[in-house]
């Protein structure tokens, strides 16, 4: 799995950080998404898929291999 | 179960369909949407679409290939008009009857109208992409826009329109914007922010009628007989759940589709998103939430409950919303409405910064921040999710 984020679409809701903190974080100043791991381990794939599913800006994109 | 019908072609319906497929459901999914568009994102309609930063094609929630991969029986541009609950089928406006084994109702809301104003040219509401494109075309420098209702939609449009050089008058029926929802202190900050940006905010403003000439709006008459001249009027006085098609179906209705803690309205029938009034066990109360994130979260929860009828899980989220006004981001977690106390922990009117905690009964029920780092709210969200007593939460906050 390869993860990509669109920072200019992000609305800083932080849902992804709540669901998959191993993969996503937020910038201190404005809460915009920070991608910590663009090729996350298989055990967090489910959480990453859920993050992409609930992202209110559709700013998380997954390429499944 | 081999035929799932989802009525509602927006974020909640899409999240449900995707979650069903991710979980391995291989049966038919019929996806019925009133609008002709593939699912698109609504929050930018009152933000980047109105400013012109984004072209409408940027709103698509998923690309065409991703939608195709879901293998949906797409019925877009065709509203559902009736439900036969005992027979298990949905009637569409084009005459089709769609049978189902399980039904997801995600028909959302529509803007509340001022009676008689729907047919007047220049009177707008803002819910759909078509609404936003029509309004955007009218927001030209020097024109006069009167916005009826200083809620989140009204406030966001006021901020954008003012920035485009439109002369904006914002009407609020109460003493302060959004005071009932988020408290007086937050209302003061919002009111001052509007005025700082040259938007004329009129409070205690009761609208008597829309004034028009030859079918085109010319102004708004207030109850005190003042007439505000307007080239355009935006009516932003809240929303009405789209449940008319369910009248007489036997499903429980009452300001939305009434659902239990599993989001079920009847056996095999579930509600998702803005239309659903469900019992949230985290707060011990029924709520209907028109927040973007709730639609997706409830869609995931409903997909699970549909596919695991023996292991259903209550839907018990901490609600979340955000609003962008004048470059200031407002974010809130929890159930703020009907709070008993709103306590300002940081900031105030002069700082353009605010942190408020909300008490309902003896519990921390919610928190709102404006002009602060969104990270601050995460610890508060955890306290709300853990049903933290008010005294404990506030003692921790003031000690920190």
pLDDT digits (tens, 9 = 90+) for B113-154: 998 888 999 999 999 999 999 999 999 999 999 999 999 999
Shortest CA distance from B54: residue in chain A: A9
pLDDT at B280 over 90: yes
Distance, in Å, from the CA atom of B97 to the CA atom of B314, rounded to the nearest integer, reads 31
Distance, in Å, from the CA atom of A2 to the CA atom of B160, rounded to the nearest integer, reads 36
**pLDDT of the residue at B397:** 81
Residue B376's SS3 state is helix
Closest partner residue to A26 (CB to CB) among B11, B297, B375 is B375
Per-residue pLDDT band at B400 (split at 50, 70, 90): low
How, if at all, do strands A24-26 and A33-35 pair? antiparallel
Q: What is the pLDDT of residues B33-69, one digit of tens each?
A: 999 999 999 999 999 999 999 999 999 999 999 999 9
Q: Residue length, chain A? A: 65
pLDDT at B399 over 70: no
Per-residue pLDDT band at B257 (split at 50, 70, 90): very high
**CB pairs A-B closer than 8 Å:** 60
Q: Are B50 and B136 in contact (CB under 8 A)?
A: yes
Name the minimum distance, in Å, from the CA of B69 to any CA of chain A.
Answer: 13
Cα dihedral sign, B259-B260-B266-B269 = positive
Q: Do B15 and A54 touch (CB under 8 A)?
A: yes
Tokens of B342: 């709103």
Cβ-based contacts of B293 with chain A (< 8 Å):
13, 15, 54, 56
Q: Do A53 and B296 touch (CB under 8 A)?
A: yes
* Closest CA relative to residue A30, chosen from B49, B357, B45, B328: B328
Q: Which of B48-57, B280-289, B390-399 has the lowest mean pLDDT?
A: B390-399
CA dist B281 → A3, B111, B298, B324 (Å): 34, 28, 14, 30
Q: Do A31 and B329 touch (CB under 8 A)?
A: yes
CA dist B182 → B158, B226, B394 (Å): 19, 29, 18
Q: Which of A7-16, A46-55, B123-132, B370-379 has the lowest mean pLDDT?
A: B370-379
pLDDT at B161 over 80: yes
Q: Are B125 and B113 in contact (CB under 8 A)?
A: yes
Which residues, at least 6 apart from B212, have a Cβ–Cβ distance to it below 8 Å? Answer: B120, B121, B122, B218
**pLDDT of the residue at B180:** 86
Name the minimum distance, in Å, from the CA of B91 to any CA of chain A.
Answer: 29
- Is this complex scored with an ipTM above 0.85? yes
Average pLDDT over residues B193-202: 96
Name the minimum distance, in Å, from the CA of B358 to any CA of chain A.
Answer: 20
Distance, in Å, from the CA atom of B145 to the CA atom of B127, rounded to the nearest integer, reads 18
For chain B, give the mean pLDDT: 96
Cβ-based contacts of A50 with chain B (< 8 Å):
300
Tokens of B393: 């939460």
Cβ-based contacts of A31 with chain B (< 8 Å):
329, 331, 373-375
**Radius of gyration over alpha carbons of chain A, in Å?**
10
Question: Which pTM was predicted?
Answer: 0.96
DSSP B261-307: TTSEEETTEEE-GGGEEEEETTTTEEEE---HHHHHHHHHHHHHHHH
Question: Helix/strand/coil (H, E, C) string of B72-94?
Answer: CEEEECCCEEEEECCCCEEEECC
Q: Which of B98-107, B272-281, B325-334 has the lowest mean pLDDT?
A: B325-334
Residue B333 burial (CB count, 10 A): 25
Q: Do A13 and B373 touch (CB under 8 A)?
A: no
Name the minimum distance, in Å, from the CA of B61 to any CA of chain A.
Answer: 6
User: Which carries the bigger pLDDT value, residue B310 or residue B327?
Assistant: B310
Percent of chain B with pLDDT over 70: 100
Q: Where are the alpha helices (DSSP H) in chain B?
A: 11-22, 48-51, 64-69, 129-136, 152-163, 179-182, 184-196, 292-307, 376-385, 390-399
Closest partner residue to B61 (CB to CB) among A17, A18, A58 is A58
Tokens of B51: 């400013």
CA dist A48 → A18, A55, B199, B313, B385 (Å): 11, 10, 42, 21, 21
Q: Are B120 and B126 in contact (CB under 8 A)?
A: no
Q: Which of B374, B377, B382 to mutate to probe the A interface, most A CBs <10 Å?
A: B374
Q: Which residues of B touch A (CB under 8 A)?
A: 11, 15, 18-19, 22, 41, 43, 60-62, 292-293, 296-297, 300, 320, 322, 324, 329, 331, 373-375, 377-378, 381
CA B177 to chain CA centroid, Å, is 17
Per-residue pLDDT band at B371 (split at 50, 70, 90): confident
């Amino acid at each position: 799995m390869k993860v990509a984020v669109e920072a200019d679409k992000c609305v800083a809701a932080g849902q992804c950080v709540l669901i998959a903190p191993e993969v996503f974080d937020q910038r201190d100043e404005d809460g915009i998404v920070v991608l910590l791991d663009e090729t996350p381990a298989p055990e967090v794939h489910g959480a990453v898929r859920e993050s992409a599913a609930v992202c209110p800006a559709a700013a998380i994109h997954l390429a499944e291999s | 179960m081999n035929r799932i019908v989802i009525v509602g072609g927006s974020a909640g319906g899409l999240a449900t369909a995707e979650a069903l497929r991710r979980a391995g459901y291989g049966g038919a999914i019929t996806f019925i949407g009133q609008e002709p568009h593939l699912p698109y994102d609504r929050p930018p309609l009152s933000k980047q679409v109105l400013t012109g930063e984004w072209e409408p094609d940027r709103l698509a929630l998923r690309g065409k290939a991703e939608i195709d991969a879901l293998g949906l029986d797409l019925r877009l541009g065709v509203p559902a008009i009736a439900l036969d609950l005992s027979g298990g089928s949905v009637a569409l406006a084009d005459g089709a009857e769609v049978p189902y084994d399980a039904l997801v109702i995600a028909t959302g809301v529509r803007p509340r109208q001022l009676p008689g104003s729907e047919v007047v040219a220049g009177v707008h509401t803002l819910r759909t992409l078509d609404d936003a494109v029509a309004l955007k075309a009218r927001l030209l420098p020097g024109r006069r826009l009167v916005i009826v209702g200083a809620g989140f939609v009204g406030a966001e449009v006021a901020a954008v329109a003012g920035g485009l050089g439109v002369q904006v008058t914002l009407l609020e029926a109460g003493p302060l914007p959004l005071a009932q929802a988020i408290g007086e202190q937050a209302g003061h900050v919002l009111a001052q922010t509007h005025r700082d940006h040259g938007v004329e905010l009129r409070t205690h403003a009761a609208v008597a009628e829309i004034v028009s000439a030859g079918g085109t709006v010319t102004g708004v008459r207030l109850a005190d007989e003042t007439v505000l001249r307007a080239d355009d009027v935006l009516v932003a006085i809240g929303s009405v759940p789209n449940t008319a098609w369910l009248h007489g179906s036997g499903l429980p209705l009452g300001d939305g589709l009434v659902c239990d803690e599993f989001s079920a309205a009847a056996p095999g029938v579930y509600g998702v998103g803005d239309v659903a009034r469900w019992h949230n066990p985290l707060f011990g109360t029924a709520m209907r939430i028109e927040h973007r994130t709730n639609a997706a979260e409830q869609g995931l929860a409903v997909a699970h409950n549909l596919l695991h009828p023996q292991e259903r899980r209550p839907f018990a989220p901490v609600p979340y919303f955000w609003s962008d006004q004048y470059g200031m981001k407002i974010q809130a977690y929890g159930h703020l409405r009907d709070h008993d106390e709103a306590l300002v922990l940081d900031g105030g009117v002069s700082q353009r910064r605010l942190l408020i905690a909300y008490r309902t009964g003896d519990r921390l029920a919610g928190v709102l921040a404006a002009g602060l780092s969104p990270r601050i709210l995460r610890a508060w969200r955890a306290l709300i999710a853990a049903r933290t007593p008010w005294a404990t939460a506030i003692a921790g906050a003031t000690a920190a």
